[in-house]
């Protein structure tokens, strides 16, 4: 049965789950949600395999977590490198019980102005990187009848402005996860999807605080964004692994967005459409002047 998880409810104060003896791989582990979930996993008794391209920050996380952390500096868009890293961590920690495919980037830009290389890089990290991480881990996961938590976003099903690459990549991640549920069912591997909303990370804050996005939000009646603390997300991820959840949602409005994406998209376009048009026209007028 699908469990719906709400940010700010009494469930967040429930007794912490234990993952004693489990081995969990976390991509994008050098900072933000990845580093927070690595700490939460170790606190819950798990050993953690940490992947990230940011070597110095990743090594700091590894050192802070002690003997139950093992880091590999790797670009998740390079499948051969990810495969080698997984081979190394399995040799060091043992087979993988769970994977949290968390690595991701975001680059804002209007669809008609975004450089092709920026679009490609976002898709490569968020979609191809997620595939590489999961695919390289499947053999080990199958031996443990493990669990995969794929991090997506409400942007996968409700597509706001200036985010064509990110929205497309996250939508692709959802389709990939749903397909893999069928493909891996015979092996006893379960797959969960985390539909993140605005979370208190540097990447998310940069996006929300972008002057263009702020201009749009100011014109949306009732718009009020309160970021989810990364430690709250981390605890939910620990619980998701323990319970093998299929879906994680972090606020009540997310239920509508995920269950009825066409309606949610229509509402979003109605709320933001006028502001986007006004902003783009003012930018054009300023550039022409």
Active site residues: 166
Q: What does the alpha-carbon distance between residue 86 and residue 84 come to, in Å, rounded to a whole number?
A: 5
Q: Are 247 and 193 in contact (CB under 8 A)?
A: yes
Q: Mention every residue, 6+ apart, whose C-beta is less than 8 A from residue 264.
A: 157, 158, 256, 257
Beta carbons within 8 Å of 180's beta carbon, 6+ residues apart: 134, 148, 191
């Amino acid at each position: 049965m699908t469990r719906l998880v709400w940010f700010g409810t009494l469930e967040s104060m429930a007794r912490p789950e234990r993952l004693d003896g489990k081995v969990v791989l976390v991509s994008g582990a050098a900072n933000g949600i990845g580093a927070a979930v690595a700490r939460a996993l170790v606190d819950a008794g798990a050993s953690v395999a940490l992947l990230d391209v940011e070597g110095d920050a990743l090594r700091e996380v590894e050192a802070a977590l002690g003997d139950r952390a093992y880091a590999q500096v790797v670009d998740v868009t390079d499948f051969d490198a990810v495969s080698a890293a997984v081979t190394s961590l399995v040799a060091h920690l043992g087979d993988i019980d769970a994977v949290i495919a968390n690595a991701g980037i975001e680059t804002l830009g209007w669809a008609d102005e975004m450089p092709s290389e920026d679009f490609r890089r976002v898709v490569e990290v968020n979609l191809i990187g997620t595939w590489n991480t999961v695919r390289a881990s499947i053999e080990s996961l199958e031996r443990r009848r493990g669990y995969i938590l794929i991090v997506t976003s409400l942007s996968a099903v409700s597509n706001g402005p200036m985010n064509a690459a990110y929205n497309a990549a996250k939508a692709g991640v959802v389709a990939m996860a749903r397909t893999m549920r069928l493909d891996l069912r015979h092996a006893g591997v379960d797959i969960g999807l985390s539909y993140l909303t605005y979370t208190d990370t540097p990447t998310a804050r940069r996006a929300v605080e972008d002057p263009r996005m702020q201009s749009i939000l100011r014109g949306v009646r009732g718009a009020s964004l309160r970021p989810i603390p990364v430690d709250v997300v981390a605890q939910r991820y620990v619980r998701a692994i323990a319970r093998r959840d299929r879906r994680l949602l972090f606020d009540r409005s997310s239920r509508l967005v995920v269950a009825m994406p066409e309606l949610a998209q229509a509402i979003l376009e109605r709320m933001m459409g006028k502001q986007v048009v006004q902003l783009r026209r003012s930018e054009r007028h300023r550039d022409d002047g």
